Structure 1
Amino acid sequence: MTTLALISRDYDMSHLVPSILRAAPEFDVRMYGEPAARDAEIAVCWNPPEGAIAAMPRVRLVHSIAAGVDNILTDPTLPAVPLCRVVDPQHARGMAEFVTWGVLHFHRQLDRVLANQRSATWFRPEQQPPSACTVGVMGLGEIGSHVAGELHRLGFSVRGWARQSRDLPGIGVYCGQAGLPMFLDGTDILICLLPLTDATRGLLNAATFARLKPGAKLIHVGRGEHLVAADLLDALQTGHLGGAIVDVFPNEPLPASDPLWRAPNLIVTPHMASVASADTIGLQVAQNVRRLLRGEALANVVDVTRGY
């Protein structure tokens, strides 16, 4: 019997057990810390403790339960075995819903309306057409391209920034470090949907915010480590950034003492922009384990040199 170990340092993964067993009842699923988990051939992970996977002498496959794998790749002892991720066909739709809400929140000045409500101030903001708002999408992979296309369909002026050029109808694309300043200049609402790599870690920093026009807004749904939290706090407090919605943080859950909870015009959301269902995770993990056992090519294999 093939044994899978569910491994995380701070996330209860027990709800995935029924979904995995529904998809593959022939597997034995164990939780990290159980004696049998050490001899598992498959490590199913979210933010695993450093060294936990290396301590499994029989491991043949590491599988993330999400699209992101940066929380796994940070382990310097990670064994040289295939690493796969979950690709939810509904993930792009969910992300587009969340980002569209955020863009409309700022474009229709609902942040100002909510502030006015707290002071019992009756004020009707001037309504602008979406074409008057320039939205910049950082990261034009499958999800970023979908989000950019949906915002373009709604009439927003959309531009994108990516490592390599993309052909997206109606969307101006800027590439690489050389294109970043031009991409940021004139952007009204900046959306981060980048993968986490050495080149993108800490990219949401003071220098990036300074390139945006005064009063620009940020919607951060990429990876927590993209954000330099102190720089965001400073940009909000000085008013250079007019507002932000942040869904991912360098440390999660965000501690109650963190000043970002009380930053001006910042909405904190609990890493909820788009999450794969337990059944989707269970099915994709089970399918990949079966491929491994049959000697077939795995799905959604990560290029560890690129980080995605």
Structure 2
Amino acid sequence: MTLTVLFAAGDAAFAEYRAPLTQAFAQHDLKIDLVTEAAPEAVDYIIYSPASTLRDFTPYTRCKAVLNLWAGVEKIVGNPTLTQPLARMVDPALTRGMVEYVCGHVLRYHLGMDAHINATPGAWVQDEPPLAPERVVGILGLGELGRACASALAALGFAVEGWSSRPKSVQDVTCHHGADGFKTLLRRADILVTLLPHTPQTENILNAAAFAQMRTGTRIINPGRGALIEDEALLAALNTGQIAQATLDVFRVEPLPAEHPFWAHPNVTITPHIAATTRAKSASQVIAENITRVEAGAELLHKVDPARGY
């Protein structure tokens, strides 16, 4: 039987994904009619991103699953018309990209590279930074990406501590959970990495009260979600030195408006949402595997829990 798969992620993405998806479907022995338009009642699966104009899922009565191309699902999970199972993107290449970004910026802060790179002629300050085991790196969020980053940093020798809303266990990582655990991690981290999903519970989780509990001079790296941080509170904490530096890859509005004060702040590094991009070749394999599983009667991988929002 030939399955109809609707690619609802925009024309530019379709040009990028068409060949890798076709190849992945062939490797999984799937007979697929990959289309950008179809009668809703004929669609078996939807490959989706928020770049799509598709907002009403009600007519897609035959659809067995919606497969998100992005790791984040906050822009779709609350759609009341979405009654089909939703899978978030968990892609090994995306995970590796995030690990490399996080480790790179943690090492940059750990080694004090900004001061050395920007040193003026005649400046010859030979400081002695602590070694990795003496530096506490905190990870907010111990999902797929958080666990991978925590493990990689622990392998580099850092004292890694993580936090999640529910109890988690990660080898060589001190794990905290709940409200008390959140406060403990804030007090202990020298460098704090935010990898939480965006939900009503996590929005503005790093606010003025949270910054006040951190060690003076903490560095923050946010490749997770822009709404995790209250912008005005972060700017205030940077101005007092409570937070020494911040590297931000995600923002409430993207691209970040030219007039936003983050651009002008000397202690803020901005990157253009590049920490963990979905790569077409590897993501296509994930999608093909998921469709194969569902067709075989197995459980959908990376299924989103609408009640939790991820």
- TM-score, length-scaled by structure 1: 0.86
For residues 19 and 295 of structure 2, the distance between their equivalents in structure 1, rounded to whole angstroms, comes to: 21
Q: How much is the aligned-residue C-alpha RMSD, in angstroms?
A: 2.7
SS of the residue aligned with 1:282?
helix
Q: Which residues of 2 match residues 25-40 of structure 1 at below 5 A?
A: 26-31=31-36, 34=37, 40=43
Q: Which residues of 2 match residues 151-230 of structure 1 at below 5 A?
A: 151-230=153-232
Please list the CA deviations of residues 77-114 of structure 1 after superposition, one character each: whole Å capped at 9, or x if unmatched: 33211101222234433322211111111111112223
Q: Residues 187 and 3 from structure 1, CA distance in 2 versus in 1: closer, same or farther, beyond 3 angstroms?
A: same
In the TM superposition, residue 154 of structure 1 has moved relative to its aligned partner by: 2.0
Q: Residues 19 and 36 from structure 1, CA distance in 2 versus in 1: closer, same or farther, beyond 3 angstroms?
A: farther
Opposite residue 73 of structure 1, the aligned amino acid is V
SS of the residue aligned with 2:262?
helix
The question of 1:61 aligning with 2:62 is answered no
For residues 228 and 11 of structure 1, the distance between their equivalents in structure 2, rounded to whole angstroms, comes to: 33
For residues 59 and 176 of structure 2, the distance between their equivalents in structure 1, rounded to whole angstroms, comes to: 44
The question of 1:113 aligning with 2:143 is answered no
Residue in structure 1 matching 2:106, options 75, 90, 103: 103
In the TM superposition, residue 225 of structure 1 has moved relative to its aligned partner by: 2.2
- Tell me if structure 1 keeps the 8 A contact 2:134–2:159: yes
Residue in structure 2 matching 1:128, options 115, 130, 136: 130
The question of 1:19 aligning with 2:2 is answered no
Opposite residue 242 of structure 1, the aligned amino acid is A
- Tell me if structure 2 keeps the 8 A contact 1:203–1:226: yes
- Tell me if structure 1 keeps the 8 A contact 2:186–2:213: yes
- Tell me if structure 2 keeps the 8 A contact 1:133–1:156: yes
The question of 1:2 aligning with 2:3 is answered yes
In the TM superposition, residue 209 of structure 1 has moved relative to its aligned partner by: 1.4
For residues 191 and 50 of structure 1, the distance between their equivalents in structure 2, rounded to whole angstroms, comes to: 33
Note the residue ranges of structure 1 that are not aligned, 5 or more in a row.
none
Return 38-47 or 93-102, whichever deviates more.
Answer: 38-47
In the TM superposition, residue 16 of structure 1 has moved relative to its aligned partner by: 1.2
For residues 255 and 103 of structure 1, the distance between their equivalents in structure 2, rounded to whole angstroms, comes to: 26
Return 205-214 or 232-241, whichever deviates more.
Answer: 232-241
Q: Residues 166 and 284 from structure 1, CA distance in 2 versus in 1: closer, same or farther, beyond 3 angstroms?
A: closer
Opposite residue 72 of structure 2, the aligned amino acid is G
For residues 174 and 222 of structure 1, the distance between their equivalents in structure 2, rounded to whole angstroms, comes to: 19
- Tell me if structure 2 keeps the 8 A contact 1:109–1:125: no
Please list the CA deviations of residues 229-266 of structure 1 after superposition, one character each: whole Å capped at 9, or x if unmatched: 22222222332211011112222222233222222221
Please list the CA deviations of residues 177-198 of structure 1 after superposition, one character each: whole Å capped at 9, or x if unmatched: 1221121113210111122222
Note the residue ranges of structure 2 that are not aligned, 5 or more in a row.
none
For residues 274 and 122 of structure 2, the distance between their equivalents in structure 1, rounded to whole angstroms, comes to: 31
Opposite residue 106 of structure 1, the aligned amino acid is Y
For residues 10 and 227 of structure 2, the distance between their equivalents in structure 1, rounded to whole angstroms, comes to: 18
For residues 291 and 172 of structure 2, the distance between their equivalents in structure 1, rounded to whole angstroms, comes to: 41
- Tell me if structure 2 keeps the 8 A contact 1:219–1:244: yes
Q: Residues 159 and 295 from structure 1, CA distance in 2 versus in 1: closer, same or farther, beyond 3 angstroms?
A: closer
Q: Quote the residue 1:80 is aligned against.
A: 83
Q: Residues 146 and 286 from structure 1, CA distance in 2 versus in 1: closer, same or farther, beyond 3 angstroms?
A: closer
For residues 151 and 240 of structure 1, the distance between their equivalents in structure 2, rounded to whole angstroms, comes to: 24
For residues 234 and 74 of structure 1, the distance between their equivalents in structure 2, rounded to whole angstroms, comes to: 32
- Tell me if structure 2 keeps the 8 A contact 1:227–1:250: no
For residues 55 and 178 of structure 2, the distance between their equivalents in structure 1, rounded to whole angstroms, comes to: 36
Q: Residues 183 and 278 from structure 1, CA distance in 2 versus in 1: closer, same or farther, beyond 3 angstroms?
A: same
Return 230-239 or 173-182, whichever deviates more.
Answer: 230-239
Opposite residue 5 of structure 1, the aligned amino acid is L
